[in-house]
Amino acid sequence: MPWPHSTEAPPLARGHLRQDVSQNLAPYTTLGIGGPAADFLVVHGRTSLAHQLARAQELGLETRVLGGGSNLVVADEGVASSVVLMRTRGIRFQAESGSVLAEVEAGESWDEFVRQTVERGYRGLECLSGIPGTVGATPIQNVGAYGQEVAQTIESVTVMDPTDGSLTTLSNEACEFSYRSSIFKGKGSALGIVVSVTFRLEEDPRPTIAFKELEAALSDIAEPTLADARRAVVALRRKKSMVYDVSDPNHRSCGSFFTNPVLPAAAFERLQRKHTTVPHFPLPDGTFKVPAAWLIEKSGLTRGTRLGPVGLSTAHTLAIVAHDGASAKDVVRFAHVVRRQVEETFDVRLRPEPEFWGFAELEDGLPVLPDGQEP
């Protein structure tokens, strides 16, 4: 299933050819599951995007944007929407005093963009190496890893109004970034379609090392470079099956399926009284971030745990893997099993990280299963 991170679309969807028949979305997601879209088009430029948005309005369809499909669960029945596969390209660097602005089109490969910034000696994104998907998706959930998140470097986000094709640029502050979230998350196309993201990076060859695991990986290098940090991050991610590789038996996943819960001080103290060894990260606002992977493992669900054709990755407890024959319902059912197990053990409710398309109802971010299908 090479498509999610290749540069070529499958033959039926190549170029600007509109599909009059329903287009199955499974090949466009890293999970490899999901039904058809009511309308589907590959977009290579802003003009074709505006035309497709107008057409979707004429058809009375909501527009949904698909990038790398690496953070998405599509219902087996598909989605009654116009789906735009964003394949716009373009990276423009502009030097300023002590910093560089990089304006990037939404359809650019995220990791390819990060690679270019590292090669040019621009600091700010090196710890986000190896993350699959496209640039346009990163502000939506404030992508982060190994001590960095895009909110730290995003200068602005430009969006297209789905009703008239006009463009609006939102400042970093207007994006309302928070942990794995932003003003865009959960809003679909209501706030506009992300067409480009502008980052402000530092002209500095020294990497940001603010994560203990990364610090340990670089401990043998006296003065690590941005390239050293990128190599170390990719190696760490690969070890956890968090780099999309079709030869990896864990590759059919969304990466981290649950976010790390952030607990108020009182809730964390209750948890710590019962489980004194719980790892945690104090945050400036007095809350505490707890690793979801630790909660899952300590609840009794170890790596490789399976329920039919779906299970936890054998390399990382936080990833849910779809094996041969898996359906979207199977994935959702297993996610409910994980969440319930953690909640019963720790009185902490996990929230999912992926988007869910085509499901009738969500509860705390997770699709509600029909009566009789609860695990």
Q: Indicate which residue of 105, 108, 126, 353 is catalytic.
A: 353
Pairing of strands 144-145, 148-149: antiparallel
Selected catalytic residue, list 46, 115, 180, 333: 180
Nearest to 333 by CA among 369, 306, 304, 301: 369
- Annotated catalytic, 353? yes
To the query of whether residue 203 is one of the catalytic residues in this protein, the response is: no
Residue 195 CA to residue 369 CA, distance in Å, equals: 34
> Are the C-beta atoms of residues 316 and 310 closer than 8 Å to each other?
no
Beta bridge partners of 128: none
The catalytic position among 99, 241, 256, 313 is: 256
Concatenate the DSSP letters of all residues of 295-355 into one string. Answer: HHHHTT--TT-EETTEEE-SS-TTEEEE-TT--HHHHHHHHHHHHHHHHHHHS----B-SE
Instruction: Give the E-state strand segments of 67-220 in sequence order.
Output: 72-74, 79-86, 91-96, 99-105, 122-123, 144-145, 148-149, 154-160, 167-171, 193-203
**Could you give the residue numbers annotated as active site?**
180, 256, 353
